[in-house]
Structure 1
Amino acid sequence: MKPLPPGSVIGILGGGQLGRMLGSAAARLGFDVHILAPEDSPPAARIAAVYWQAAYDDESALREFADACDVITYEFENIPVSSVEYLVSIGSVVRPGAASLEKSQDRLAEKQFLNAIGIETGAYEPVSSPDDLATALNTLGGAGILKTRRDGYDGKGQVRLKTGDDLAAAFADIGKVPAILEAYVPFEREISVVIARASDGTVTAFDPSMNDHAGGVLRTSIAPCGLSEPVIAKARSMAETLARETGHVGVLALELFVLEDGTLLANEFAPRVHNSGHWTPEGCLTGQFEQHIRAVAGWPLGPVTRVFDVEMQNLLGEEALAPADSYGADAVITLYGKRDAKPGRKMGHVVRRTSIRALS
């Protein structure tokens, strides 16, 4: 595919805040944006040139959507793989394609794939019943985190367990669905590497961020992450391997545990722009949303030099209703346009530039 000229149409599957920020970046580069999602007036729909309200598996709507778009991307990993495969089968260019999407949708398949391409993870065991869970818990030393294999996010669909807990109740709590038990990893910190890969294989990597979670939800991301250059180089190499092995085009994020000796263990990856990269538009010469649009449109990737030390804080629930001046004069606020400020719901984020980075 030749690079798309301004005025071309970029289609985005998904109507959430990531689609909204991707759409805004695309519009700034001169593209028209079409959004397809099943909800009534989701955040991304209200910044789009055209909104297509339809189920992701509605092939008639997908065909009409594809006919209107020059390239199609997606904003989150729960888009049905079959929908992406259908779009490709009728001649659409979909970036990223189905490979990285499919691997990221099933936690067991994801970890097996990461291990197969040389990216180490923590120990894990598949679980399909309370009896499996008892065996897995014993294998992993009597403690772990039970997670659904599919559809869990922001702490949902997971339970922390130890020997002596009611395993049948825990399995019922996650819906009695196929699951995975992950061993506790004695990490010193968590980081994520956000990279972009162009269709010609060119890769750019943002500086890794150090991430802090509470209740399974990302609360803050800080860059720089405070690690040595050899550890950072290893983290970037792992993310680049993942992108190359899946043929990924666009932005991808790899979350990693860092042990005290600098060992890196992969937690999970996202085949899309990522919450931990929300600081990049304010902290770097090119942010993750513009970079993703550049990649899917066939443009050269932009420079990702970090020009500020930054801290990004997620705004959950009614935190987003606070007066803008309460965050400080150095704060850059992004709100997602969600209608209801439910407890724990990501409503926006704020980025603080803590210092200017000296550049050579």
Structure 2
Amino acid sequence: MTAFPPGSTIGILGGGQLGRMLALAAGRLGLKSHIYAPEADSPAFDVAASHTIAAYEDEAQLAKFAKWVDVATYEFENIPVSTVEFLSARIPVRPGAKALACAQDRMNEKSLARELGAMTADFSAIDSFADLENVLDKGFAVPSVLKTRRLGYDGKGQAKILARADAEAAWTAMRDQPSILESFVNFRAEVSVVAARALDGTFKAFDVTENEHRNHILHRSVAPAPLNADVAAEAVAIAEKIAEKLDYVGVFAIEFFIVPDNGHDRLFVNEMAPRVHNSGHWTMDGALTSQFEQHIRAVAGWPLGSTGLNAPGAEMINLIGDDILTWEKIAAEPGAFFHHYGKKDARPGRKMGHVNRLLPKKPA
């Protein structure tokens, strides 16, 4: 298929910081962006050529949107699958509904990883308190964690079951939503693979990244992750298998737990994000092609860019809530790359921006 040339318009569903950074990357390539989002104060509006404020379920507005853009994508995985299916009947949407449906359900994610031969935590579908009691009575390991199957992120929609007596409170926290019970994984680190797959099946991954969380929110990412080369290669291979299985087009992330086992590291797939990812923000300054440009390239049908590094290593620090108020100090720091998301209110726990730094040597 012919690539969409400069001057074409990329439709982006979602107007948050990821949509904003996608629009900025598209502009660098001579491509226009049209943001579609229900929130009137969406930060991506500020950097896009045009925008639509409407609900994702508004088919009349979606039909107009489809006439105004050449190809569409989305910035987060909670876009309704029906929205992507509606648009896909009119214009190309990349990645497609198949990948979105998989990533929206933790059962689907875990089942796909197992189908492809990857390891995961033990898991079981839970649709009622009776289901939970039955699974625990049959010997499912405690401690464990109960999660909603859909719409959870940054630690939301989760409840720990540290002892059998915690089960009822955990189910109450799920508010009767379809859930998944997962065993605890005794991991020493969490890493992610951020990669892209093009229309022709070309696959390229950035260096595996190690991630540190605070209060269930990503705090710091460093690349390359301090892993043995064979473990890093295995993580990338698993990501490629998942992308092929889903006929994926665009950038995505696979999160892994690193589990020690008799002196060796084992990989456990945690979850998938069908979009550009917070743990890939370091690529904006640390890689020859940022994850945002790479996604736009894939969506527009262009060749993928190089994933090589600009320095031996790179780090990203999220600026959460009032952290953004240190912007002058960061701006004065030699070698710091400051990225502000254009959000007005610095609420606790809200991602307001990030700072990247290049490292003179590989992380140890």
For residue 272 of structure 1, what is the aligned residue in structure 2?
275
Which stretch of the first structure deviates more once superposed, 247-256 or 318-327? 318-327
In the TM superposition, what are the counterparts of 1:71-86 in structure 2 within 5 Å? 71-86=71-86
Deviation at 1:165, TM superposition (A): 3.5
Cα distance in 2 for residues equivalent to 1:163 and 1:356 = 44
Structure 2 gap segments, 5+ residues each:
none
Deviation string 1:7-49 (CA, Å, 9 cap, x unpaired) is: 1101000111100000000011101100001111201111111
Secondary structure at the counterpart of residue 11 of structure 1: strand
Secondary structure at the counterpart of residue 60 of structure 2: helix
Tell me if structure 1 keeps the 8 A contact 2:197–2:298.
yes
In the TM superposition, what are the counterparts of 1:101-180 in structure 2 within 5 Å? 101-137=100-136, 139-180=139-180
Tell me if structure 1 keeps the 8 A contact 2:330–2:338.
no
For residue 253 of structure 1, what is the aligned residue in structure 2?
253
Cα distance in 2 for residues equivalent to 1:239 and 1:210 = 16
What is the TM-score normalised by the length of structure 2? 0.95
For residue 347 of structure 2, what is the aligned residue in structure 1?
342
Tell me if structure 2 keeps the 8 A contact 1:192–1:256.
yes
Cα distance in 2 for residues equivalent to 1:275 and 1:295 = 19
For residue 335 of structure 2, what is the aligned residue in structure 1?
330
Secondary structure at the counterpart of residue 265 of structure 2: coil
Deviation string 1:111-152 (CA, Å, 9 cap, x unpaired) is: 112212222211111112223223334533221111111111
Tell me if structure 2 keeps the 8 A contact 1:37–1:55.
yes
Cα distance in 2 for residues equivalent to 1:165 and 1:339 = 43
Question: What letter is aligned with 1:134?
Answer: E
For residue 359 of structure 2, what is the aligned residue in structure 1?
354
Asked if 1:19 corresponds to 2:15, the answer is no
Secondary structure at the counterpart of residue 21 of structure 2: helix
For residue 34 of structure 2, what is the aligned residue in structure 1?
34
Cα distance in 1 for residues equivalent to 2:108 and 2:228 = 31
Cα distance in 2 for residues equivalent to 1:229 and 1:57 = 45
Tell me if structure 1 keeps the 8 A contact 2:123–2:183.
yes
Secondary structure at the counterpart of residue 133 of structure 1: helix
Which stretch of the first structure deviates more once superposed, 125-134 or 243-252? 125-134
Tell me if structure 2 keeps the 8 A contact 1:4–1:297.
yes
Deviation string 1:279-324 (CA, Å, 9 cap, x unpaired) is: 0011111110000000111111111101221111111111111143
Question: What letter is aligned with 2:73?
Answer: T
Tell me if structure 1 keeps the 8 A contact 2:330–2:336.
no
Cα distance in 1 for residues equivalent to 2:23 and 2:330 = 28
Secondary structure at the counterpart of residue 309 of structure 2: coil
For residue 52 of structure 2, what is the aligned residue in structure 1?
52
Cα distance in 2 for residues equivalent to 1:41 and 1:345 = 15
Question: What letter is aligned with 1:300?
Answer: P
For residue 299 of structure 1, what is the aligned residue in structure 2?
302
Deviation at 1:326, TM superposition (A): 4.5
Secondary structure at the counterpart of residue 304 of structure 2: coil
Secondary structure at the counterpart of residue 12 of structure 1: strand
Cα distance in 1 for residues equivalent to 2:327 and 2:61 = 41
In the TM superposition, what are the counterparts of 1:311-330 in structure 2 within 5 Å? 311-326=315-330, 328-330=333-335
Which stretch of the first structure deviates more once superposed, 111-120 or 319-328? 319-328
Deviation at 1:353, TM superposition (A): 1.1
- Give the number of equivalent residue pairs: 356
Deviation string 1:74-133 (CA, Å, 9 cap, x unpaired) is: 10001111111111123x111111111000001112211221222221111111222322
Question: What letter is aligned with 1:126?
Answer: A
Cα distance in 2 for residues equivalent to 1:282 and 1:189 = 24
Cα distance in 2 for residues equivalent to 1:323 and 1:79 = 32
Deviation at 1:216, TM superposition (A): 1.5
Deviation at 1:164, TM superposition (A): 4.0
* RMSD between aligned residues: 1.4
Deviation at 1:176, TM superposition (A): 2.1
Deviation at 1:222, TM superposition (A): 0.7
Cα distance in 1 for residues equivalent to 2:114 and 2:58 = 35
Cα distance in 2 for residues equivalent to 1:37 and 1:83 = 12
Which stretch of the first structure deviates more once superposed, 138-147 or 35-44? 138-147
Secondary structure at the counterpart of residue 27 of structure 2: helix
Tell me if structure 2 keeps the 8 A contact 1:16–1:42.
yes
Question: What letter is aligned with 1:313?
Answer: I
Secondary structure at the counterpart of residue 120 of structure 2: coil
Cα distance in 2 for residues equivalent to 1:77 and 1:4 = 24
What is the TM-score normalised by the length of structure 1? 0.96
Q: Percent identity?
A: 50
